[in-house]
C-alpha cells in the first residue's frame, strides 16, 4: 500500500497516469452499489485545480463511469438533439470516441433523456437513454449491438422524463420501467375498460442485447405515483440474492434469475396521493432495505428476510427526523447518510439498524442538491445544482472544503471516487482532481 501511494504521488506530480492502476467505478453507485468506494489518497479540497477538464457537447444529469483507463459518460447534444455516448482518456481527458445513439424527442426544462448513467463489465460499455435506446460498445468504440426498448416494449410513460440507470449484476443486465398506466400527458386514472400500460423489470443478456425475461410489476398507486426514477439495487443476505425495486408506493425484492417477486413493503402513501413519484434508489444497508418516501415523506427500513406482503411484519423502523426527495442515501462504513437537498439542506448520519440519528450537518447551499452523495477515504462528497462541491468529514459532518465549478445547467451527477482521484461531472463538463 505504501509503495503504491508513493508511486501515485510521483505520477500526480508529473500529471501523468501511465503507471497507475485504476480502481474501477463501473456503474452509477460505484463498486459497492451504495455510493461508496474503498480507495484512499483522495483530495479534501480542490484548491490545486483539476488535472484536466473535458467539455461535453451538452448537458445531462448522468454520472460518469470508469473502467481501466477509460471514462464513459452519457450526454445530450443540444444543437442536434442527439443522445451521445462519449469515451474519454482517464490520463488526459481527451475524447477517444463518441457514438450517436438516439434522438431526443420530448423535452422539459427540468430534465433531458440523457440522465441514465452508463454501465460496464470492464470489457465493454452499455449506454442507455430515456428514449429507450440501448447500445453496447467495446472499448475502442466498435458497436456490439443496439436496440430500442421503446420499440420493443412501448414508449416510457414518465412525466418528467425517464432516468433510471441500468444495473449489471452477475452476468445479466437489469432495467426497471416503472411508469403510469396511461399516457404521461393524461393526468387521470385509467378507465376500467382501458388497456393498462404495465410497469416491468427487464432482464437482458449483456453479450447479445436480447431479452432473457420480463417481469410485470403491478401496483395500486395512482397516476404519477406509479412512476419511479430509481435504479435497481442488488442485495445478498444469508445467501439469498435479491433485486430491490422501488416505485408505485412500494419497495419489492425479486429473484435475479427469474424476476419473481419475493416480498414487497409499503405504507408511506396510504391516502394514495397521486403525485408522489419516487426518485431515490433503495439502499441495501446491512440486512435492512432503506427507502425514502417523496415530498417530505419518511425514511423507512424494511428487514430483507420476508416473504409476500411485509408491510406490517418487517418494518424495522421509520423516521421523519430526516427526508430525501431526490438524492439516494449513502451507505458507508456501516453508517447511513441521508442527504436532504431540498428542505433542510443538510446530511444526517444514522444507524441503519435502528434509525437512530447520530448527527446532522447543515450544508450552506442556496441551490438545491440533487446529486447523490459519495463516500470514500473518510470523506463525503456532495454537489449542488450550481456545480459547487462540498467535501465533508464522514465522522462528524464537518465541512472540509467547498469549491465552485463551471456548469451551464443543473449539476446532478454523483462524484466518482478512484484511487487518489475523483471525477466530478457538472452539466456539461467532466473534471479530474488528484489527491496530494
Strands (E), 335-428: 335-340, 346-350, 357-362, 374-376, 379-383, 388-393, 399-404, 416-418, 421-425
Q: How far are the Cα atoms of 9, 93, 156, 290 from residue 255, in angstroms, in the given order?
A: 45, 40, 24, 19
pLDDT score for 344: 94
Query: 299-303 and 82-89 as β-strands: parallel, antiparallel, unpaired?
Result: unpaired
Number of alpha carbons in the 13 Å side-chain half-sphere of residue 152: 14
Fold of 20-434: Methylamine Dehydrogenase; Chain H (2.130.10)
CA-to-CA distance for 317 and 303, rounded, in angstroms?
A: 9
pLDDT score for 111: 82
pLDDT score for 436: 78
pLDDT score for 7: 36
Beta partners for residue 85, in sequence order: 74, 99
pLDDT score for 107: 66
pLDDT score for 17: 33
CA-to-CA distance for 180 and 221, rounded, in angstroms?
A: 9
pLDDT score for 106: 65
Helix boundaries (H) for 117-170: 149-153
- pTM recorded for the entire structure: 0.93
Which residues 6+ apart lie within 8 Å of 76 measured at CB? 57, 58, 59, 60, 82, 83, 84, 104, 112, 113, 114
Domain extents in the chain: 20-434
pLDDT score for 9: 36
Give the pLDDT of the chain (436 residues) as one tens digit per residue: 444 443 333 333 333 333 333 479 999 999 999 999 999 999 999 999 999 999 999 999 999 999 999 999 999 998 899 999 999 999 999 999 999 999 987 667 778 899 999 999 999 999 999 999 999 999 999 999 999 999 999 999 999 999 999 999 999 999 999 999 999 888 888 888 889 999 999 999 999 999 999 999 999 999 999 999 999 999 999 899 999 999 999 999 999 999 999 999 999 999 999 999 999 999 999 999 999 999 999 999 999 999 999 999 999 999 999 999 999 999 999 999 999 999 999 999 999 999 999 999 999 999 999 999 999 999 999 999 999 999 999 999 999 999 999 999 999 999 999 999 999 999 999 999 999 7
Amino acid at each position: 500500500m505504501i509503495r503504491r501511494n508513493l508511486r501515485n504521488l510521483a505520477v500526480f506530480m508529473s500529471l501523468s497516469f501511465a503507471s497507475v492502476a485504476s480502481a474501477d467505478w463501473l456503474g452509477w453507485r460505484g463498486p459497492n452499489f451504495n455510493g461508496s468506494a474503498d480507495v484512499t489518497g483522495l483530495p479534501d479540497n480542490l484548491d490545486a485545480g483539476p488535472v484536466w477538464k473535458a467539455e461535453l457537447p451538452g448537458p445531462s444529469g448522468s454520472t460518469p463511469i470508469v473502467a481501466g483507463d477509460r471514462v464513459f459518460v452519457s450526454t445530450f447534444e443540444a444543437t442536434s438533439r442527439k443522445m451521445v455516448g462519449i469515451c474519454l482518456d482517464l490520463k488526459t481527458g481527451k475524447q477517444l470516441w463518441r457514438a450517436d445513439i438516439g434522438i431526443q424527442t420530448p423535452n422539459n426544462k427540468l430534465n433531458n433523456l440523457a440522465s441514465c448513467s452508463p454501465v460496464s463489465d470492464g470489457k465493454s460499455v452499455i449506454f442507455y437513454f430515456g428514449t429507450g435506446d440501448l447500445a453496447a460498445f467495446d472499448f475502442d468504440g466498435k458497436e456490439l449491438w443496439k436496440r430500442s426498448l421503446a420499440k420493443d416494449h412501448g414508449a416510457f410513460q414518465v412525466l418528467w422524463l425517464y432516468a433510471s440507470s441500468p444495473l449489471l449484476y452477475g452476468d445479466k443486465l437489469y432495467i426497471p420501467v416503472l411508469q403510469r398506466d396511461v399516457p404521461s400527458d393524461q393526468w387521470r386514472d385509467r378507465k376500467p375498460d382501458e388497456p393498462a400500460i404495465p410497469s416491468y423489470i427487464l432482464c437482458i443478456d449483456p453479450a447479445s442485447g436480447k431479452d432473457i425475461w420480463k417481469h410485470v410489476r403491478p401496483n395500486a398507486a395512482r397516476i404519477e405515483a406509479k412512476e419511479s426514477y430509481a435504479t435497481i439495487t442488488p442485495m445478498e443476505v444469508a445467501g439469498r440474492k435479491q433485486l430491490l425495486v422501488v416505485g408505485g408506493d412500494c419497495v419489492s425484492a425479486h429473484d435475479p434469475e427469474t424476476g419473481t417477486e419475493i416480498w414487497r413493503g409499503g405504507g408511506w402513501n396510504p391516502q394514495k396521493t397521486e403525485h408522489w413519484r419516487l426518485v431515490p434508489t433503495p439502499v441495501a444497508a446491512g440486512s435492512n432495505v432503506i427507502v425514502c418516501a417523496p415530498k417530505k415523506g419518511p425514511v423507512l427500513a424494511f428487514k430483507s428476510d420476508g416473504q409476500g406482503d411485509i408491510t406490517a411484519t418487517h418494518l424495522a423502523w421509520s423516521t421523519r427526523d430526516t427526508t430525501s426527495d431526490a438524492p439516494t442515501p449513502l451507505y458507508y462504513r456501516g453508517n447511513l447518510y441521508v442527504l436532504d437537498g431540498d428542505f433542510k439542506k443538510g446530511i444526517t448520519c444514522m444507524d441503519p439498524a435502528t434509525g437512530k440519528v447520530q448527527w446532522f450537518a447543515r450544508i450552506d447551499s442556496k441551490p438545491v442538491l440533487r446529486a447523490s452523495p459519495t463516500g470514500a477515504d473518510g470523506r463525503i462528497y456532495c454537489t449542488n445544482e450550481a456545480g459547487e462541491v462540498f467535501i465533508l468529514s464522514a465522522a462528524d459532518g464537518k465541512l472540509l472544503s467547498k469549491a465552485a465549478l463551471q456548469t451551464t445547467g443543473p449539476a446532478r451527477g454523483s462524484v466518482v471516487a478512484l484511487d487518489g482521484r475523483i471525477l466530478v461531472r457538472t452539466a456539461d463538463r467532466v473534471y479530474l482532481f488528484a489527491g496530494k
